[in-house]
Chain A
Amino acid sequence: MVLRLHKENLCIKETKASYVLLKDISKTFGSVTAIHELMLEIKKGEFFSLLGPSGCGKTTILRLIAGLERPDKGSISIGDRVVAGAQWVQPEKRRIGLVFQDYALFPHMTVFKNIAFGLTGCSKNELKQKVMELLDMVGLTEMANRYPHELSGGQQQRVALVRALAPSPDVMLLDEPFSNLDADLRAELRTETRRILKEKGTTAILVTHDQQEAFSLSDRIGVLNNGRLEQVGTPDEIYHRPLSRFVADFVGRADFVSGRIEEGSIISGIGVFLLTEPLDIKNNDVDIMIRPDDVDFVIDTEGNATIIEAQFLGPQIIYKLLLSTGNVIHSIKTSSRIFPLGSKVRVMVDPAHIVVFGKDNEAQAFLQTDLVHESLKTKRETILGQI
C-alpha cells in the first residue's frame, strides 16, 4: 500500500520539535491585508488553537497551511517538508486533514463513500474494515449507508471528523467545526474530538472565535488580531497573563483600573500594590487589569465602592461596582446570596492575576509576580486623597 509506505517515510523524521512552521507569512486579498508577517510554530502532537474575532485572518492561516491559498510572502513547512515558499506542494499532497465549518460532506455520496473518498490504494476489504472502524470510533456504524442530509448536525460533524482522519493525516485542521451545534452537543463533541485526536497523536490546529472552546481543548493558544499574532501561550497564560489589552479584553471580561506609580508602589482605587522591582516604564500613570473572578467584596457602609448593577446568571451573579475613584469593575459571586443595588461595599482583590499596562505602550504588560498587595487601610485612605 502506497499510503502506508508514505506514512512510514514521514514517521522516521518525527523527532523534530516544531511540526508546522510558518515563517514571515503575509497574505493580502486585493487591498486587504489578511495576514501580516506571521511567525508560528506548532509542535508535534500538540492541540493548538488560533483564537480571534471574525475577520482576524485565522481561517486564512488554516487555508494557507492546507494549501488552499498561496502566501504572498514567507514559507510554510510541515514536518521536514517545505510546502509553500521555496517550493509549492498541492493540497492533496500535503497529508493534512481539514474539517470545515459547514462540514462539506459530499451530498451525492453516502456516509461510507464520503469516508472512503480519501482512502486510496486499499483493497475493497481493507477499505470496508477501515471505514467501519472509523465509524465505530464515533458510534455511527449504522449510518454508513445514509446520505449526509439524513444525518443530524452532530452526526454530520462526526462524519466530517472521521472523513478527515481516514487517510491518517499528519496534521488535522479544524475550522470552527463546532459553531453550528447547540451548546450541549458542542461540549460533548469537543471532548470527543480532543480524545480521538490525542489517541492518534495527530497534531491539531483549531480555528475558533470562542475562548471557552480554545481553553477547554488546547495545549496552546495563539490569539490573533488584524492578521497579527498578539500572543501565544497556554490557556492559563493567555487568560491570566495577557500581553496586550486586546488579549485581555478578548479572552473573558477584563476591567482596567487607573493607577499611579509612586515610591515603588502602585496606588489605585482597588488598593496599593508594592512593587518588588522597579518597572521599566516612562510614564507613572498605569492601568491595572483585573478579572471579575479575582474581585470580591463585603458590605461595608464606609467601603470604597457601590453596587450599581447586578446581572443574574443562575449559579453566579456579576456585580458592577463603581469605585469611589470613578473606575468601574466587575465581580463574580455565587448567587447563594444576593446583594441589593446601591449597597456600599469594600472591594478586595486577589493580587495573583493582576496585570499592569503602561498608558503609553499598550502592548507592554507587567506580570503579577512582581507585585505584592498592600491593604493597609490607613495608608490607602491617605493615598486615595492624593489621586
Chain B
Amino acid sequence: MSQHDKERYFKVKKGFSYLTPLSIGIAAVVAIPIIFTLFSAITVESELWKRLYDTRLKILLPNTIKLLISVGILTLLIGITTAWIVTRYDFKGKKIWEWALILPLAVPGYVLAYAYASIMAPGGIAQGIWSSIFGDVSKMPSLYSFWGVSLILSLVNYPYVYLLTRASLLNQNVKYHEVARTIGMPKWKRLWLIDIRMAYPAIIAGLALALMEVMADFGTVALLRYPTFTEAIYRQMTARFDPKGAAALAFVLVAITFILMNIERYFRGKRSFKQTKGSFKTHIPKKLNLKKTLIVNTLIFLILCFAFFIPVSMLVVMAIEGILKSGFDKRFVQFTLNTLFVSAVGATLASILAVPIAYIHARKKGVLNKGLYYVSSLGYSLPGPVIAVGILLTVATLFNWLYGSILLLFIAYVIRFMPISLQSQDSSISLVSKSMEDASRTLGAGAWKTFKSILFPLIRRGILAGWVVVFVDCMKELPATMMLRPLAFDTLAVRVWMDAAEALWEAAALPALLIVLAGLIPLIIIIKKMGAQNGIKIT
C-alpha cells in the first residue's frame, strides 16, 4: 500500500467531514449549562417552589408583566411613529434623523439609568429646574419607580421597532394605496388597514426583540431598584448563595423569554406579507410644508434629546468635572485594558467557534445540522444571569477546579453572543454559491485550501461584522460579567454599575462614556444596511 493509498484509505474510514462532530462539541458547551439549569429547576421540591412563590414570584411576575406591557406600548408608539414619519414624508433634516434615531442602541440601559439618576439626584439639575418652576421638590416624580424604569427601557429599546417597521414600510408597494384610493377609502383607514396591517409582522418582530431585551435587562432594574427576575436571580445567587432557588427563578424567566422568542421567530419567517411581483413601485414620500417640517423635527429632536443627547452630554460633563476635581483615575486604564481583553477574547472565540456550525447550517441538509444551529443560538435569548447560573451550576458539579477562572467569563460570552456570529456568518456563507467551493475542489484544492483561499476571503466581511458586534456586546455585558469575573477583576461595565449604585456619579462617567462610544461602532453596520434598503450606497 503506497503512502497515497494509505491516506485515501484513512480518509474513507474517517468519513467525509470532521465538521459535524466538531459542531456537536461546540453546541454541547452551549447546551450543558442550560441543561444543568433546567435539571436543577426540575428537581426543586414543591416546598421551595411554594416559598419562592410567596417571597419572590408573587412580586416578580406582576412586576415583569407590567413592565412588558408599558415598555411594549411605549416602544410601539415611538417606534412606529418615527418609522412612519421618515418613510412617508420628505422634509429637511430627514436624512440625518433617519439614522440618528437608532443612536439610543449605543447606550446600554444601565448607562441611561445612571445618567438620569445623576441628573435627578438630590441637588442635581432636574431638581433645580423643578424647584424654580413648581417649587416643592418633594413632589417631583421619582426615577426609582415603575414609570422611571418603563421610560428608560423604552427609550433604549424603541429602535428595534423603529428599524424593522421602517424597513417594512419602505418595501411596501404603493399600488395597494392606489387601489384603496380608487375605491374611496379615507386616509386614516388606508393608514390603518394597509400600511400598519402590512407592516404587522415586522412590527411584532421588532416588539418581541425589544421585549426580550427588557426581559434580559439587569442593570437598569437593579440600579433603579425595581425587582424583576434578572435582579432576583442575581441576588439569589450572590447574596443568598442559593443556586437551587436561582435555577428555579431562571427557569421561569427562560419560559417567558421563550414565548417571546418564538413569537419573533414565527413572525420573522414572514416578516412581510407576500407582495405582488412584477411592477413594483415604492411610496414617494410626501413633501412637508414649513410648519409641519418644524413640528416633525421638534418631535424627533425631543425623543433623541431624552434618549441620547441629554444623557450623553451629561456623561461628558461629569467625566470632565471628575477629572478636574480629583484628577485622572489611573485605575481607569486597567479597567479599559481588562474590558478590551475580555471582549476581544470573547468575540474571537465566538467568531471562530461559530464557523463550523454556520457552515454546516448553510451548506448541509439534515435535522442534526439544523438542530445544532438552533441549539447554539439558544444563548441569545437567555438573559446574562441565567447563563451565569447555568455555568456556575455546571462548574460546581463537574469542574470545581475551574471556579473563579476567567475562562468562565469567556464561556458565558460565547454562549450569549455566538448566535450573533452565527447569524452573520450563516448569511454570508449562504450568499456564496456552493459551486465556488465545488469548483475549487474539482480544480484540485483540498477542503482546507478551499476554505482558506475561496470561502474565507468571500465571507471575511461577514465574520468581521459579527466580530465587531460581539466585541461591543461583550463590552456592554453586565450581569454575567459581575457574577463570573475573577476576584477584583473590574471591567468598564462593572465600574459604571458599582459606582452608580453607590452614587459616585463622576467616577462612573468616563467608563460609561467609553461604553457608549464603543456602542456607536456596530451602528455603522446597521446604518450601512439601512442605506442599502434606501438604494443608497454608503461606503
Contact = CB atoms under 8 A, between A and B. Distances in A.
Interface string A76-99: 000000000001111111101110
A106 B439 CA distance: 9
- Which interface class (under 10, 10 to 19, 20 to 34, 35 or more) fits B? 20 to 34
Contact of B446 (A88, A90, A97, A118): A90
A106 B436 contact: yes
Interface string B110-147: 00000000000000000000000000000000000000
A93 B449 CA distance: 14
B438 interface: yes
A7 B433 CA distance: 30
A163 interface: yes
A108 B365 contact: no
B8 A88 contact: yes
Interface in A99-114: 100-102, 104-108
A163 B442 CA distance: 11
B442 A97 contact: yes
B442 A106 contact: no
Interface in A119-170: 120, 163-164, 166-167
Interface centre among B435, B446, B447, B458 (most CB of A within 10 A): B435
Contacts of B365: 29-30
B438 A164 contact: no
B433 to A, nearest CB: 6
Interface in B294-333: none
Interface in B411-469: 433, 435-436, 438-447, 453-454, 457-458
Q: Which of B16, B444, B446, B458 gathers the greatest number of chain A CB atoms within 10 Å? A: B444
A206 B11 CA distance: 30
A101 B433 CA distance: 11
A69 B401 CA distance: 46
B8 A93 contact: yes
A302 to B, nearest CB: 52
Contact of A117 (B11, B435, B443): B443
Contact of B441 (A30, A92, A120, A166): A92
A100 B441 CA distance: 13
B235 to A, nearest CB: 50
A87 B9 contact: yes
B439 A70 contact: no
Interface string A10-53: 00000000000000000001100000000000000000000000
A325 B447 CA distance: 64
Contacts of B439: 98, 100, 104-106, 163
24 contacts: A66-B442, A68-B438, A87-B8, A87-B12, A88-B8, A89-B8, A92-B443, A92-B444, A92-B445, A96-B442, A97-B443, A102-B435, A104-B435, A104-B438, A105-B439, A106-B436, A107-B458, A118-B443, A118-B445, A120-B444, A163-B439, A164-B443, A166-B443, A167-B443
